[in-house]
A = this chain, B = another copy of it.
């Protein structure tokens, strides 16, 4: 059996790099083979799993500099019955690729606005007179390089290797603390995919909407966890898309869904929440990218 793994494409995105790491871990742990299936958006990669076109999706959840990936939260809320199997934490290392013979030959740097922002200090120091141009992804502008030898792109090392592009500078991020958390998501609970002990998962993720005014309901919901000594590692609000000022709340617990305290907290939470969705219990695995 070959597993299909959906991810944000094209090949060379950081999501594809995380998915590729997962494929190697899956093969090593279970012997299962998997193929990577690129989709044009995060929402479409999750929809592919919900509709059975792919067994798994690897989607970005949160970056240490940019914060939560809102597209992932919105799609998880809208698509029912998806379950998180595993979290992967991957260091993000940007490289500069170009067909110029040296940095002196570069006139324009292209990349996604977040990548440009994350390398701003390096650009000011080493390419102070170069124009920065924002693009829609870190891979899209790579096609420019074959015709324009004065162009450079900030992208992933994996993209440089895949498209056989010369790397002029590596690890050009201003902050070495740049990492992204991904979730491995499947349609139903499947212990094959979590690669770790399911008896002791460390995190549980859920989301809920509140019926009336935000403050009272949110405080009460958070108190439920605080009173039972359950730590939260993330609290994030998203608009309900009904009207300005109405929110959903996404919460990551540092606890396992099956624990008695968690079961008790979730029962209490149902009293304050309008809709409550539980996305699963899982472990967190750091990825070492060289």
Instruction: List residues of A whose CB falls within 8 A of some B CB.
Output: 41, 62-67, 70, 89, 113, 134-136, 175, 177, 179, 181, 213-216, 218-219, 222-223, 225-226, 230-239, 241-245, 247
Contacts and interface: CB of A to CB of B under 8 A. Distances in A.
Given A179-B244, A237-B235, A219 B226 contact: yes
B136 A89 contact: no
A46 B156 CA distance: 30
A177 B243 contact: yes
8 contacts: A62-B239, A66-B239, A89-B244, A177-B243, A179-B244, A181-B244, A215-B231, A223-B223
Contacts of A244: 62, 64, 89, 179, 181
Contacts of A181: 244
A63 B67 CA distance: 17
Contacts of A63: 239
Contacts of A65: 239, 241
B64 A241 contact: yes
A219 B214 contact: no
Contacts of A219: 219, 222-223, 226
A235 B249 CA distance: 10
Contacts of A238: 67
Contact of A239 (B41, B64, B134, B231): B64
A208 to B, nearest CB: 14
Given A67-B70, A215-B226, 4 more contacts: A65-B241, A181-B244, A219-B223, A235-B237
A190 to B, nearest CB: 26
Contact of A232 (B215, B222, B242): B215
